[in-house]
Amino acid sequence: MHVLEYLYPMRTFLITSGSLENPNVMTADWVTPLSMNPPLLGVAIAHKRHTKKLIDKYGEFVVSVPTIELLKDVWIAGTLSGAKVNKAEKLSVTFVSSKKVKAPSIKECQANLECKVVDAVETGDHVFYIGEIVEVTYGDAFNDKPDVKNYNFILHISFGNSFTTNSHEIYRA
């Protein structure tokens, strides 16, 4: 067992990069808020990931917040490499134009946080990107603004192929 497995379960996010014409998406658990003013978040991306190359090229990314209904897509996004496969063809999600960055948002996610890279820190086998959140949009998971009292559908990864929600139900990919 790897020492970092003791941190799980962790929230699972989708990171989109590239452009609407050539989108890429990967799963990421290592996402954290950093500052409220300015609004900053950080995401750790392995050096070998195709997403890293796209973030370096465009200087931006989107953190999309999936629900349990997207479990199959989350699994596909996390197990296929965008360098080898066009993930957009394999996924059932709808990529839509973001408002302030070129990286696409995901229509079916509960929220999309559009980020511009303000710093990148080498951290061993990962790069920790610090992104300023320049726009937030809500996807189809909400009819209007989110109800913070009802988050039982938020997806967490336990480790490997086990997922859970705030309701503590276990799902397998």
Mean pLDDT of the chain: 82
* Mean pLDDT value across residues 102-119: 95
Model confidence over 11-20: pLDDT tens digits?
889 999 999 9
Whether 2 maps to a domain, the answer reads: no
Domain limits for position 146: 8-172
Top-ranked range on mean pLDDT: pick from 53-57, 76-80, 85-89, 149-153: 53-57
Give me the number of domains the chain comprises: 1
Model confidence over 57-87: pLDDT tens digits?
999 999 999 988 888 888 888 887 777 888 8
Q: Are 113 and 15 in contact (CB under 8 A)?
A: no
- Which tops the pLDDT comparison, 77 or 116? 116
Instruction: State pTM to two decimals.
Output: 0.81
For residue 128, the domain's CATH number is 2.30.110.10
Predicted confidence at residue 84, as pLDDT, reads 82
